[in-house]
Amino acid sequence: MSIRVATTRRALLGGTGAALGLLAMPAIVRAQSRELIFWTTQRAPEQIAAYKAIFAGFEQQHPGTTVTVQSFLEEELLPKLAATLAAGTPPDLISHMPPEFVMQLNEQGLLQPVDDIIKAVGEGDFYENSLELLRDSRRGYYPGFAIVNSTTTGALWYRKDLVGEAGAAGYASWDAMLDTTRRTNRRGVFGTIYPFGKTSMGDKLLLQTIWRAGGYIINPDGTVGFNSPATVAAFEFIRDLLKYSPAGSANYAYTETVNGFVEGRAASAPYSGRVLINMQAQNPKLADAVSVVPFPMPAGGRDVFVGDFQSMVIPRAARDQELSKRMALTLLKTDNYVRFLHVTPSHNLPNLKSVAGSAEFAANPTIARYRPEVDTMIAATAKGRSLLKESREHATNTHAGAILGSRIMVEALQDVIIGGMSPQAAAARGADRIAGLMKA
């Protein structure tokens, strides 16, 4: 049974029960109880509480149905899914799955197309870059869709009280950022934090820096593009920037980066909107002294950022595909969607334009207080891309997950910073390693 396309998004998602009223289906009344399993990587207690409250409404609209929420680390998703598929007990819906996992599972034929969900919501309401990324162009369908987006690298936070009159212009380009980090580097406060540990953040920030320089990891024709003038320029820029970053940056990841900035130990740092939540809770005296700009790029660069595109999928082996789709639509109703987003306001950002611009989304103290900063981050996510598809001209890179998991990119940067290798030699060595991985 397919989901009918709503005439307007307001009719589908605006009021309680409106989405269900537009679905072509008989009333669902079960003689026996039916348990639906929902998986998510969002594990904070308040996030789990929000999910349970949302699904309580779903259960009322589907008598005899219960929803069990189970949360996991991202690294646990694929092994646990494999185990449940082998046992014949897969989850009915999975949310916040990294897009690299989505396309990997799709290649194995393990995911149900979600085109009818996207059409029911309104294809034009999703940000275009997310739909482009998660479309199987060979088979002509979407195996998943981004429920939220964020960028832990595209946003560069800075201290207005330290930057002074230069303000945002102090980070308008690579040269400007280098000058500002040098000027704000003082006793007890670093000019910036540039994490380059062998971690997800280290890889993603380097990936974005190469993109912002105009380069690619894989060229549109499928050849390895890591050994390029753009990569060399990125290495040289980072090497200069690290003069003003903590000595331990070679081991920094997400936690060290956000904590360093929130605690007042740096004048600037890349991170997501969680900075605003943490700053208000942990260092309120600086809460009005912070703002954000898009991470800078050099002249002639490419205006693109690394996005997270946390996605929702339905396993092909899920027992009741229709109920799985209804669960997804329940989460996409404006009131439920906003309820979840407001648990971590400004960290998870909406992937629906109508929600991003809605009064409901704006009706949160953190979002209202920092609306210009939130809009800057939403604009960055709308320009986000993934190693899965580095540009519109690229085909889907099925090796993206393996390249990120190998840490080849950030290891090449460490060859320069720690090993003393020339940027040119490190880029060439990294390119050879990526080519070897892709052949394997």
User: Is position 275 within any domain?
Assistant: yes
Are residue 356 and residue 245 in the same domain, yes or no? no
Are residue 49 and residue 134 in the same domain, yes or no? yes
pTM: 0.89
Phi and psi at residue 97, to the nearest 5°: -90, 130
Are residue 27 and residue 176 in the same domain, yes or no? no
Quick one: what percent of the chain has pLDDT higher than 70? 93
From residue 145, alpha-carbon distances to 3, 112, 207, 268 in Å are: 16, 11, 23, 33
Q: Look at residue 340 and tell me whether its pLDDT is greater than 90.
A: yes
Are residue 144 and residue 55 in the same domain, yes or no? yes
The Cα 324–Cα 331 span in angstroms is 11
CATH of the domain at 98: 3.40.190.10
Residue given tokens 């210009």 in the structure block: 372
Quote the pLDDT of residue 1. Answer: 28
Are residue 164 and residue 270 in the same domain, yes or no? yes
Q: Look at residue 5 and tell me whether its pLDDT is greater than 70.
A: no
Q: What single letter denotes the amino acid at residue 95?
A: S
What's the pLDDT tens digit per position in 378-406? 999 999 999 999 999 999 998 998 999 99
What radius of gyration, in Å, describes the C-alpha atoms of the chain? 22
Residue given tokens 């969002």 in the structure block: 42
User: Is position 2 within any domain?
Assistant: no
The Cα 356–Cα 81 span in angstroms is 32
Question: Do the Cβ atoms of 377 and 273 come closer than 8 Å?
Answer: yes
Are residue 288 and residue 419 in the same domain, yes or no? yes
The Cα 192–Cα 174 span in angstroms is 13
The Cα 175–Cα 435 span in angstroms is 32
* Of residues 399, 385, 427, the one with CA closest to residue 204: 385
Quote the pLDDT of residue 440. Answer: 86
User: Is position 391 within any domain?
Assistant: no
Are residue 32 and residue 65 in the same domain, yes or no? yes
Are residue 94 and residue 174 in the same domain, yes or no? no
Question: Is residue 387 classed as helix, strand or coil in its secondary structure?
Answer: coil
Q: Where in the sequence is the domain holding 79, given as residue range(s)?
A: 9-148+307-382
What's the pLDDT tens digit per position in 273-330? 999 999 999 999 999 999 999 999 999 999 999 999 999 999 999 999 999 999 999 9
Are residue 263 and residue 177 in the same domain, yes or no? yes
Enumerate long-range contacts of 365-373, CB under 8 Å, 24 or more apart. Answer: 366/276, 366/277, 366/280, 367/342, 369/276, 370/276, 370/346, 372/291, 373/273, 373/276, 373/291, 373/292, 373/346
Q: Look at residue 19 and tell me whether its pLDDT is greater than 60.
A: no
DSSP states along 70-134? EE--HHHHHHHHHHHHHHT---SEEEEE-HHHHHHHHHTT-B---HHHHHHH-GGGB-HHHHHHT
Quote the pLDDT of residue 32. Answer: 53
User: Is position 138 within any domain?
Assistant: yes
User: Is position 395 within any domain?
Assistant: no
Question: Do the Cβ atoms of 3 and 23 come closer than 8 Å?
Answer: yes
Its sign, for the CA torsion 405, 240, 185, 177, is: negative
Are residue 203 and residue 302 in the same domain, yes or no? yes
Length of the chain: 440
Quick one: pLDDT band at residue 27, thresholds 50, 70, 90?
very low
Q: Look at residue 25 and tell me whether its pLDDT is greater than 60.
A: no
User: Is position 272 within any domain?
Assistant: yes
Q: Look at residue 10 and tell me whether its pLDDT is greater than 80.
A: no
Are residue 132 and residue 167 in the same domain, yes or no? no
User: Is position 1 within any domain?
Assistant: no
Its sign, for the CA torsion 437, 315, 2, 9, is: negative
Are residue 68 and residue 167 in the same domain, yes or no? no
When divided into structural domains, the chain yields a total of 2
Q: Look at residue 204 and tell me whether its pLDDT is greater than 60.
A: yes
Quick one: pLDDT band at residue 45, thresholds 50, 70, 90?
very high
120 vs 14, residue with greater confidence: 120
Question: Do the Cβ atoms of 58 and 65 come closer than 8 Å?
Answer: yes
DSSP states along 190-230? BS-----SSSHHHHHHHHHHHHHTT--SB-TTSSB--SSHH
Q: Look at residue 238 and tell me whether its pLDDT is greater than 70.
A: yes
User: Is position 18 within any domain?
Assistant: yes
Enumerate long-range contacts of 102-108, CB under 8 Å, 24 or more apart. Answer: 102/134, 102/143, 102/144, 102/311, 102/313, 103/134, 103/136, 103/143, 103/388, 103/396, 103/398, 103/400, 104/78, 104/398, 104/401, 105/78, 105/81, 105/143, 105/313, 106/136, 106/143, 106/144, 107/398
CA dihedral 341, 343, 346, 352 (to 10 degrees): 0
